[in-house]
Each structure stands twice: as C-alpha cells, then as structure tokens.
Copies of this chain bind each other. A is one copy, B any other.
C-alpha cells in the first residue's frame, strides 16, 4: 500500500514523530508538507500562541494558508527550525466534525447563480454571502460597532440627486482620466483590502489580473495574503500599482518596504492614517475568527493583549504614534507621490496640502474603524469648496472610497470634485464567488453603467462633470434620524388593502 521508495521515505519525518511535539515546550507544525519547530516563535506570533498550539503536532496548512504570505516562514523563522519534509501518508487525517452550516453552504454552492445572472455589484455580494465560508464572509463584510458608518457609506450617495443636462451630443463617451499622472480607462482604482486568500486560494493576484484587463490601478495592501513581490510579479505590460502602507513602529522596516516598492515600480505610496489601531468588528469576533493573524512585520517580543480578537493582534506592529511630524521623513525617503489614506475632515486636508503630500483619500476605512464616522462622499462635499476657495484643489488630488457600488456613485464623486474613487469589497466578493471572471464582469458592469450614465447626465467626458450637475444639499445638511416609531399606534393601524380576490366557489367551474 505504501508505494514510496524506501530511501526517500527514510529522510522524511513521520506523523507519529511530529505528533509528540504538541505542547508549549516543544511545538512542531506541518505546513505544506514540511515540518517546522515553532516552539521559540510562539511568544512572538502576532496572532498569539494559542492558535498555533491548537495545531501543535499536526498539519496546520489549511488554517495557515489564507492568512500568511508564502514567504512568511522564510522571513520570520530561522532556517534551523525548518525540519524538512513530512511523509504525509503517515499523518493522521483529522476527522472534521460535521458542521450543518457547512453542509448548507455546500448546497448553496451547488445552486450558485451563474455569473451572467449578476447584473450589478450588489449581486456579487449576495452570491458571496451564500457561498463564502462563514469566517471569511465575517472578516470581509464586518464593520465597526453597529456598522452604521459601513452602511452610511453607500446610502450617503442616495442623498445626492442628479440635475442632468439634455440635448448634449453624447455620441462619443470617454470616461478615461489620469490618477497621479497615470492614464486609466475609468475613474476608479482597486483599493487595498486584506487577506485575499480567505475568498480565493489565489488571493490578490486575481485582482491584479482584473485591473490589468480593464486598465485600472491596483493598490497593494500591506496585509495581503500574497506576498508583495507575488502581486508585483503578477502585473503585466507596465500595469500601474500603488502601495498601501501601515507604518511599522520600526521605521527601518518601513523604509525597506518603501524602497523595495519604489524599486519594483510602484507609482504611489498610500499611507493609512485612519488605523493607529485596527477596529473592533463584532461580527468578525463572533464568527470565532479570533485565531487569525496576517502580520508580516512583527517587531518581535511585543506583549499586546491578544484576547481582543484578530484585528488588534494583526495591528500590533502598526505605530500609533505616527503623526504629522513624521511626514517630512516619508517625503525624504521616496520619490513616489505620497497620499494620506483615511483623512476625515477639511482641517486635515488643508494640513496635508500644507505639508506637501500629493493627495488624500477621504475614507473611513470601509466603516471598519470608527463607527458614526462620516462617509467619504460627505467629507468630500465639505472639503472641495474650501480647497477651491484657497486654490488648493489643483495642488493635491482628492480621492474617496467607501460604499461605491454604481457608476452613478462614481459620477457623483467626480461632480463634487474627486479625482477618482477606490473600490474594495465588491471586487473581493466577485473574486470570492467567481474568481477572475467575476472581477472581470464586475469591472465591465461598472464600465457599461458608466457609459450609460455619462450619456444620461449629459456629460461626454470626465471634464464635463461639475457640481451643477448634482443636488447635494442633503449631504451637507447633516444626518437625520427619525423619531422613534410609535409602536402602539402602528400596531393598531389597519393598513389599506388592495382589491379583493374574486371568490371562486368549489365546483363553480362544473
């Protein structure tokens, strides 16, 4: 039954051998058919030792895979701890507990709508919700606290209404533009989102290929499942990529990352400023995803409280002391344009312009950080009139992200003065449900909508979009919250009924 040649077999470690190293004192794990001694690494693991110990003496590949870039072990574990290949036939397969939720999911996968049934970006989310693993869905879809900001992000666009112009020649529609000097086919970019392999085994490179196909820019996330170089390598034909950066407490690490990105051709550095600590996302916490970590920049020996769930664990390397006084240093270490991602009020936009960065992304981090923070589109409506008044609107490029689902959302942002918009989750959902064809179709749908809606608003080119084409007063008028409902009164009220059916008596047809 064992068909391996004896000599090769001799070199490999066996499951039995490994299984005895199953404690804090000696902890070996199998990953991708190789064994590693992580005993000494346990206290340093950014995701906490507990999740590793769960797999002590066992195969941890399935858990490890989506949340660690492939070069993680080489980078963070001394070669001496790489114990060699394992004879996987000798490793006991764990019987998985029956999980009725998982069975239901498999049934949903069997009945998954065909790709052509997706007619808009919401549709990918509807499909992904049904077919993704629960923990992965929870990680992607969750927001901070009550998820009010997360939902506000899209609904804020519904406060803006169009004032289209008719009888404009819209035969030839051209919605191409430039972003930080790079020509793009449509004014959106793929913004950075973490842990792509939770949704698809290939991870972020799928987004790279989709971006290439549609000639849009991809922003590479610090917390990607693929390694930075994998994502860069997946780019084709001079395809433009940007780097999203969480700033490490250890500035040497940060500097190395920036220099490497610049060397590999990145055309923009987006410093995340809205996440000195990663947000509490309760849906994620409830989904028992608490054992995950993706951090690739551990400074080692830190002592963060890991009882607070994944988000805080992952974020342990991020420097919460990052401040305006650090910006000149960034400007000094790179020639890439620097953009602050996550600015949330006009005062900070002005300051950003003053310190000499090249742009800002008005963003609340997809509603994943501070709940009841305002939407990017609302901040935009606050920012642009002031920038114009001060003549700063030409000095820096202003982007927004959060809640963009329709081409009309993009058009509204551009009317109000944005240079472009970032889109994140929708492409993750398309990728999770359908892989690259999903991402391709999602982008194509946006282009179709864009052509249609540019025509209907009476604007043939991006330059034709201006504030007069929208009524955005509701956006700046604040946030209405209806008075609590009168539950007694509504219960008593007898709603109007429509016409009553004809009564067809039994046998009346005889």
> Could you tell me which A residues sit within 8 Å of B by CB distance?
110-114, 117-120, 122-123, 125-127, 129, 137, 141, 145-148, 150-152, 154-171, 273-277, 279-280, 282-283, 285-286, 308, 319-324, 326-327, 340, 342-345, 347-348, 369-374, 405-406, 408, 448-449, 451-453, 455-457, 468, 471, 473-474, 477-484, 486-489, 491-504
Residues of B within 8 A of A503 (CB): 111
Contacts of A457 in B (CB 8 A): 370
Tell me which of B117, B162, B340, B451 contacts A500 (CB under 8 A).
B117
Task: Count chain B CB atoms within 10 A of each CB in A282, A285, A493, A498 and give the residue with the most.
Answer: A498
CB distance from A74 to the nearest CB of B (A): 31
- With contacts A374-B163, A491-B126 known, is A496 near B322, CB below 8 A? no
| A324: B residues at CB distance < 8 A | 167
Q: Hey, which chain B residues are within 8 Å of A481, CB to CB? A: 155-156, 158-159, 474, 480, 482-483
Residues of B with C-beta under 8 A to A372? 157-158, 160-162, 408
Which of chain B's residues have a CB closer than 8 A to the CB of A162? 344, 370, 372-374
Given A481-B474, A497-B286, A498-B488, also A406-B145 (CB < 8 A): yes
Q: Is the CB of A118 within 8 A of B169?
A: no
Query: How far is A279 from B119 in the complex, measured between Cα atoms in Å?
Result: 13
Q: What chain B residues lie within 8 Å of A285 (beta carbons)? A: 119
Residues of B within 8 A of A147 (CB): 484, 487, 496
The verdict on A487 contacting B456 (CB below 8 Å), with A159-B481, A162-B372, A482-B481 known, is: no
User: With A and B bound together, what is the CA distance between A64 and B455 in angstroms?
Assistant: 30
Q: Which one, B280, B406, B456, B478, contacts A279 given CB within 8 A?
A: B456
Q: What 8 pairs across the A-B complex have the smallest Cβ distances?
A: A113-B499, A151-B484, A117-B499, A474-B478, A370-B456, A171-B321, A166-B273, A126-B498
User: How near does chain B come to A99, taking the closest CB pair, in angstroms?
Assistant: 12
In the complex, A439→B155 CA distance in Å? Answer: 36
| A320-B500 contact, Cβ under 8 Å, with A148-B483, A448-B308, A483-B479 | no
Of chain B, the residue at the smallest CB distance from A375 is: B161
Once bound together, how far apart are the Cα atoms of A296 and B120, in whole Å?
Answer: 30
On chain B, the residues within 8 Å of A495 by CB distance are 487, 491
Interface centre among A112, A146, A157, A495 (most CB of B within 10 A): A146
Which one, B123, B161, B448, B504, contacts A374 given CB within 8 A? B161
CA distance A502 to B475 in the complex (A): 40
In angstroms, how far is the closest chain B Cβ from the Cβ of A248? 14
In the complex, residue of chain B having the shortest beta-carbon distance to the beta carbon of A271: B167
Report the separation of the CA atoms of residues A127 and B482 in the bound assembly, to the nearest whole angstrom.
27
Shortest A313–chain B CB gap in Å is: 14
Contact B117 A286 (CB under 8 A): yes
The answer on a CB contact under 8 Å between B340 and A486 is no
Query: Chain B residue with minimal CB distance to A409?
Result: B372
B370 touching A119 by the CB < 8 A rule?
Answer: no
A167:B322 contact, CB within 8 angstroms: yes
Distance from A30 Cβ to chain B, minimum over Cβ atoms (Å): 30
| Chain B residue contacts of A157, Cβ below 8 A | 372
Residues of B within 8 A of A493 (CB): 151
Cβ contacts under 8 Å, A164 to chain B: 274, 344-345, 370, 373
Q: In the bound complex, do residue A496 and residue B487 qualify as a contact, i.e. CB atoms below 8 Å apart?
A: yes
> Could you pull out 7 A-B pairs where Cβ atoms are within 8 angstroms?
A111-B503, A165-B348, A166-B342, A166-B348, A280-B448, A373-B456, A480-B481
CB distance from A320 to the nearest CB of B (A): 4
- Which B residues touch A150, using CB under 8 A? 484
A169-B320, A274-B166, A487-B146 known; A122 vs B155 contact (CB < 8 Å) = no
The listed residue (B274, B479, B491) touching A498 by CB distance below 8 A is B491
Alpha-carbon gap, A170 to B493, bound state (A): 33
**Interface pair A168/B323, CB less than 8 Å apart:** yes
Closest beta carbon of chain B to A66's beta carbon, Å:
20
User: Smallest CB-CB separation from A351: which chain B residue?
Assistant: B167
Q: Is the beta-carbon distance between A166 and B340 smaller than 8 angstroms?
A: yes
Chain B nearest Cβ from A57, distance in angstroms: 26
Once A372-B161, A474-B481 are accepted as A-B contacts, the answer to whether A455 and B498 lie under 8 Å apart by CB is: no
| Contact status B145-A408, CB under 8 Å | yes
- Given the complex of chains A and B, what is the CA–CA distance between A347 and B163 in angstroms? 10
Residues of B within 8 A of A491 (CB): 122, 126, 495-496, 498
Contact B373 A494, beta carbon cutoff 8 Å: no
Taking the nearest CB of chain B, how far is it from the CB of A245, in angstroms? 13
A168 CB contacts on chain B under 8 angstroms: 323
Q: Is the CB of B112 within 8 A of A165?
A: no
